[in-house]
Amino acid sequence: MIVRERPSGLVLFLVLRGSIMPRILLTLIVNIVVATLVTFSHGDLFNLKITLTAIPFSLIGLPIAIFLGFRNNAAYDRFWEGRKLWGELVYHSRSFSRQCASLIDYPVPACASEGLGDARVRMVYRAIAFAHALRGLLRATDSAADVRGLLLPDELAQMEKAFNKPDFLMGRMGMDLRLCLKEGRIESCLAAAVDATLSARRLDAARLAERQAILAPL
């Protein structure tokens, strides 16, 4: 479990990533300017005296409190659901890597560089690259630097052209599993178990993308 230091109130107020402040900044500035003008004019508009009471603010405050409470609960539910789904993805990733290491026969390579050409090793490395690519999809960031050392150069170039990078890697892992089955390095019943774990990882990614408001198809 990752435990971070508790941020201060000032840090939480000034943070911009994940904050709604950039979206409401213009409205907030307009409200501040209007409130300042009303304060300095003492409620006088030219020759007209505007009387302000606390009744409108009381009437507006109640629905705003209800609305903010609902939005706060919805935001936390979304965060907690995403955390649980990502935990399931990590669990299935570990199971997939263990199955690849224990169920698929691995011919000992003549040198370390030849090991990267084996389908079983590529599946494990692609499983790691898949997590980086999915994180980039969810955060709308470029994950090319994180997966550069995990994929072959030509495969990295193909992934960059793909519309959905995690789904591209998932398809390549399925092709490697089929190659291992064709070469007789894994039994068909065991290959079905590995494919089920692979499908569970794809389902976790789809649920993460769908429920975290990412519109890219998986």
Q: Is residue 191 assigned to a domain? A: yes
Provide the H-helix boundaries in the chain: 9-14, 21-41, 55-103, 119-139, 144-147, 153-161, 165-182, 188-211
**pLDDT digits over 162-213, tens only?**
888 888 888 888 888 888 888 888 888 888 888 888 888 777 777 777 666 5
Domain of 173, CATH number, reads 1.20.1440
Assigned domain for 9 exists: no
**Is 3 within the bounds of a domain?**
no
User: Residue 160 domain-assigned?
Assistant: yes
User: Burial level of 96, CB count in 10 A (0-12/13-18/19+)?
Assistant: buried
Q: What are phi and psi of 7, to 5 degrees?
A: -75, 155
86-136, pLDDT tens digit by residue? Answer: 888 888 888 888 888 888 887 654 444 444 557 777 888 888 888 888 888
Is 30 domain-assigned? no
Q: How many domains does the chain have?
A: 1
Q: Is residue 65 part of a domain?
A: no
The pLDDT assigned to 162 comes to: 82
- Which range of residues forms the domain containing residue 196? 78-213
The angle that helices 188-211 and 119-139 make with each other, rounded to 10 degrees, is 10
Does residue 26 belong to any structural domain of this protein? no
